[in-house]
């Protein structure tokens, strides 16, 4: 693990010596408020660097121990690597010792040290009794086999042994994800004259450098990082696992209240609803009922949430359930985050849980499919990504990155794993469930057949129409990949820009055939003197006709040639126009519209339509008012 990327936190009852212990270890006074120093108790979080003596520096978070300041304690305890559970040797286990232990269990902390403080005030035999009491209290928890150190912040006794134990425990700490997206929960925000807004917090993931732009949520404002500090020293980069101070420009202090998260711009979104697995403590005073309000704590954020029980009407002490939490204000959660709930009044810690989905839809209760989906989501990252992809129908990598809050590199690796397992496919740049692709491949021929049945005069369905019918989310490049596979099956064939079943031929009625014949005859006899579509229909007394339907049919039958939306020629007339074009360029190097009009014996509008069509075919190229030959028809 890289040097210095550790966070140590304290826990324990008020006045049990946590702050004095940190002062003795670090030389830093973490009670910075005058009120804290006057009263002798911590009210806000305190922070200090701890030199481990081996070239590494850990960040230390000193949390308040008083029951009134549990919210502050919760803001500091989440996300630490090692906890020091401090118990006054003269008093033993007290109420906040127990509540702090419950909180640490609910947050699934995994590594800690038992610290008996003020050991100079009691006899050694009494220390043995207190340690036994503490061991009984932590039995069955992650601290059951934790080392125990007996110390005195006043005399310095036992501090060297504690430091050695801390070093040993930190060697087992796994590294955090420094390659992922930036996510920094804010625990302090203040202004410094001449510098602007400064925020502090523990960097959960990613790396931050001066000059980059980050987003502050839930305010959804962008801010530029002017300076990055770790333990009061400016650095070129801070990485996950470090206590960080960022000097931000482009925002005011009131836009970054405690509980905000500074993260990679455009990646995260705040939400007022989360899906979670909730566990109620066995000693919770009463059940939690449907839509009961609770105090909700996640990282440094807090709010009031309504508990929507999805499979029952009440959750009894000691039970767990899948729930949707509806919070009174938007906050940024992330899949896998641990949270704490406290009873609304009076406030006591009653449970906690894990975020399953940070941006869910509203669910209907007592639905087997909803519960199965949440179980699948909770099973692991791959299941979560599959569910999100199913909800989104199709997604580019950057869209999935936003929806899941997962780094692009992690997503890419996971999707490739799912692709190898046959569960997802990549259509050009869009990821989609393989099951959906199979469904589309079955739908395509049927949708073409249905279109042909509804439009018997058509030669096929336009590609854009078929794509829109299949999915509004499917990008053109992805549709082309899918279509290529469908054409390979032999059921469909491509006819220009149309798609049809291989055996399909238009089936005009007798009346439609009569109109088709009239139009074909008119264009044949009119030659280059033919008028535009509207005038032609007026001449033939067919003004109410669906002109596009009939003209498209005649074009597909190669009876007419379409020059533009208004102008058509009979195919024989068009072939004659091509021949005349070649003859004229054999006689002269350039050609004007008037010259070609005179050779055709046509009007200006039709001549212009013909020449512009020839330009589009690259037969000619316009230079000023003249045209020169380019790639004349052979």
Q: Indicate whether 523 and 614 sit together in one domain.
A: yes
Q: Tell me what pLDDT residue 334 has.
A: 84
Give the end of a domain, one of 238, 264, 290: 264
Query: pLDDT averaged over the chain?
Result: 88
Last residue of a domain, which of 148, 170, 192? 170
Q: 17 or 82: which carries more pLDDT confidence?
A: 82
Over pLDDT 70: what percentage of the chain? Answer: 94
> What is the per-residue pLDDT for 29?
73
Count structural domains, the chain.
Answer: 5
pLDDT, residue 64, reads 64
We report the CATH number of the domain holding residue 288 as: 2.40.30.10
Report the CATH number at residue 28. Answer: 3.40.50.300
Same domain, 370 and 384: no
pLDDT band for position 372 (cuts 50, 70, 90): confident
Q: 129 Cβ partners below 8 Å, 6+ apart? A: none
- Enter the tokens of residue 617: 């075919």
Residue scoring higher pLDDT (177 or 606): 606
Cis, peptide link before residue 218, omega less than 30° from 0: yes
Answer yes or no: is 433 within a domain. no
Same domain, yes or no: 161 and 22: yes
Both 154 and 24 in one domain: the answer is: yes
pLDDT by residue (tens digit) across 202-232?
A: 888 889 999 999 999 999 899 999 999 988 8
- The pLDDT of residue 3: 52
545 falls within a domain: yes
| pLDDT band at residue 388 under the 50/70/90 scheme | confident
Residues 159 and 244 in one domain: no
Whole-angstrom Cα distance, residue 305 to residue 355? 14
Question: For the residues of 478-534, what is the DSSP string, one character each?
Answer: HHHHHHHHHHHTTSEEEETTEEEETT------HHHHHHHHHHHHHHHHHGGG---HH
pLDDT per position as a tens digit, 409-442: 788 888 998 888 788 999 999 999 998 898 899 8
| Digit-coded pLDDT (tens) for 569-599 | 999 999 999 999 999 999 999 999 999 999 9
Q: Residues 445-502: pLDDT tens digits?
A: 999 999 999 999 999 999 999 999 988 889 999 999 999 999 988 889 998 889 999 9
Q: 394 and 360 in one domain?
A: no
Per-residue pLDDT reduced to its tens digit, 557-566: 999 999 999 9
- Cα gap 242→235, rounded to integer Å: 12
pLDDT at position 399, please? Answer: 84
Question: How confident is the model at residue 158, as a pLDDT?
Answer: 93
Asked if residue 487 belongs to a domain, the reply is: no
Question: 250-301 pLDDT, tens per residue?
Answer: 888 889 988 899 988 877 888 999 999 999 999 999 999 999 999 999 988 9
Kind plus residue range of the DSSP H or E element containing 224: strand 221-230
Pairing of strands 7-11, 57-62: parallel
Q: What 8-state DSSP symbol labels residue 88?
A: E
Q: Does any domain span residue 337?
A: yes
Residue 286 lies in a domain: yes
In a domain, 134, yes or no: yes
Same domain? 240 vs 277 = no
Based on the fold, state whether residues 354 and 286 are members of the same structural domain. Answer: yes
pLDDT band at 66 (very low <50, low <70, confident <90, very high): very low
Indicate whether 215 and 255 sit together in one domain. yes
211 and 70 in a common domain: no
pTM metric for this prediction:
0.64
Judged against a pLDDT cut of 70, whether residue 39 lies above it is answered with no
Give SS3 for 383.
helix
Confirm whether 464 is domain-assigned.
no
Same domain, 294 and 163: no
Residue 30 pLDDT class (50, 70, 90 cuts) = low
Domain span at 233: 183-264
Measured distance CA(381)–CA(360) in Å, rounded: 16
Same domain, 259 and 284: no
For 294-350, what is each residue's pLDDT tens digit? 999 998 899 999 999 999 999 999 999 999 999 999 999 888 889 999 999 888 889
- Residue 70 is predicted with a pLDDT of 64
Q: Percentage of the chain surpassing pLDDT 90?
A: 55
Instruction: Flag whether pLDDT at 71 surpasses 80.
Output: no
Q: Which of 264, 299, 332 is the last residue of a domain?
A: 264
With respect to residue 316, please indicate whether it lies within any of the assigned structural domains: yes
DSSP output for 22-62: HHHHHS-----SHHHHHHTS--S-EEEEEE-SSS-EEEEEE
Residue 33 has pLDDT above 50, yes or no: no
Q: What is the CATH number of the domain that holds 520?
A: 1.10.10.10
């Amino acid at each position: 693990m890289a040097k210095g990327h550790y966070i140590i936190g304290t826990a324990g009852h008020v006045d049990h010596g946590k702050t004095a212990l940190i002062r003795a270890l670090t030389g830093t006074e973490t009670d910075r408020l005058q009120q804290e120093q006057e009263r002798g108790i911590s009210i806000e979080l305190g922070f200090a660097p701890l030199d481990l003596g081996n070239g590494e520096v850990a960040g230390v978070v000193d949390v308040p121990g008083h029951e009134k300041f549990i919210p502050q304690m919760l803001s500091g305890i989440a996300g630490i690597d090692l906890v020091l559970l401090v118990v006054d040797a003269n008093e033993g286990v007290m109420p906040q010792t127990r509540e702090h232990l419950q909180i640490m269990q609910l947050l699934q902390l995994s590594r800690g040290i038992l610290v008996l403080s003020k050991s100079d005030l009691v006899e050694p035999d009494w220390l043995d009794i207190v340690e036994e009491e503490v061991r009984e209290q932590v039995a069955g928890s992650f601290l059951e086999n934790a080392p125990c150190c007996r110390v005195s912040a006043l005399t310095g006794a036992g501090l060297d042994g504690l430091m050695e134990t801390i070093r040993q425990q930190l060697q087992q700490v796994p590294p955090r994800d420094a390659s992922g997206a930036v996510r920094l929960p804010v625990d302090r925000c203040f202004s410094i004259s001449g510098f602007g807004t400064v925020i502090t917090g523990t960097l959960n993931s990613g790396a931050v450098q001066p000059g980059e732009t980050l987003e502050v949520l839930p305010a959804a404002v962008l801010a530029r990082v002017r300076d990055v500090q770790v333990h009061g020293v400016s650095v070129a980069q801070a990485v996950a696992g470090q206590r960080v101070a960022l000097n931000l420009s482009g925002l005011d202090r009131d836009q970054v209240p405690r509980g905000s998260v500074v993260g990679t711009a455009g990646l995260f979104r705040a939400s007022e609803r989360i899906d979670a697995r909730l566990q109620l403590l066995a000693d919770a005073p009463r059940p939690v009922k449907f839509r009961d309000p609770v105090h909700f704590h996640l990282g440094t954020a807090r709010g009031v949430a309504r508990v929507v029980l999805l499979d029952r009407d009440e959750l009894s002490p000691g039970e767990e359930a899948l729930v949707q939490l509806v919070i009174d204000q938007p906050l940024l959660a992330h899949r896998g985050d641990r949270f704490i709930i406290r009873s609304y009044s009076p406030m006591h810690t009653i449970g906690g849980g894990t975020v399953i989905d940070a941006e869910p839809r509203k669910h209907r209760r007592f639905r087997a499919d909803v519960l199965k989906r949440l179980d699948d989501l909770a099973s692991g990252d791959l299941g979560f990504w599959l569910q999100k992809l199913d909800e989104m129908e199709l997604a580019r990598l950057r869209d999935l990155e936003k929806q899941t809050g997962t780094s692009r590199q992690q997503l890419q690796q996971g999707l490739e794993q799912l692709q190898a397992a046959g569960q997802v496919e990549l259509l050009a740049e869009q990821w989609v469930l393989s099951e959906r692709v199979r469904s589309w491949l079955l739908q395509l021929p049927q949708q073409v057949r249905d279109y042909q049945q509804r439009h018997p005069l058509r030669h096929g369905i336009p590609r854009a129409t078929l794509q829109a019918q299949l999915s509004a989310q499917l990008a053109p490049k992805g549709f082309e990949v899918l279509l290529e596979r469908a054409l390979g099956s032999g059921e469909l064939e491509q006819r220009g820009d149309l798609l049809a079943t291989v055996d399909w031929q238009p089936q005009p009625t007798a009346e439609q055939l009569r109109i088709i014949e009239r139009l074909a005859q008119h264009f044949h006899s009119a030659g280059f003197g033919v008028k535009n579509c509207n005038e032609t229909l007026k001449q033939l007394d067919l003004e109410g006709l669906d002109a596009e339907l009939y003209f498209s049919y005649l074009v597909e039958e190669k009876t007419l040639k379409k020059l533009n939306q208004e102008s058509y020629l009979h195919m024989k007339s068009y072939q004659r126009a091509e021949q005349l074009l070649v003859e004229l360029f054999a006689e002269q190097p350039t050609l004007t519209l008037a010259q070609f009009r005179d050779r055709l014996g046509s009007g200006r509008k039709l001549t212009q339509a013909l020449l512009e069509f020839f330009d589009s075919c690259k037969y000619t190229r316009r230079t000023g008012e003249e045209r020169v030959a380019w790639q004349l028809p052979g």
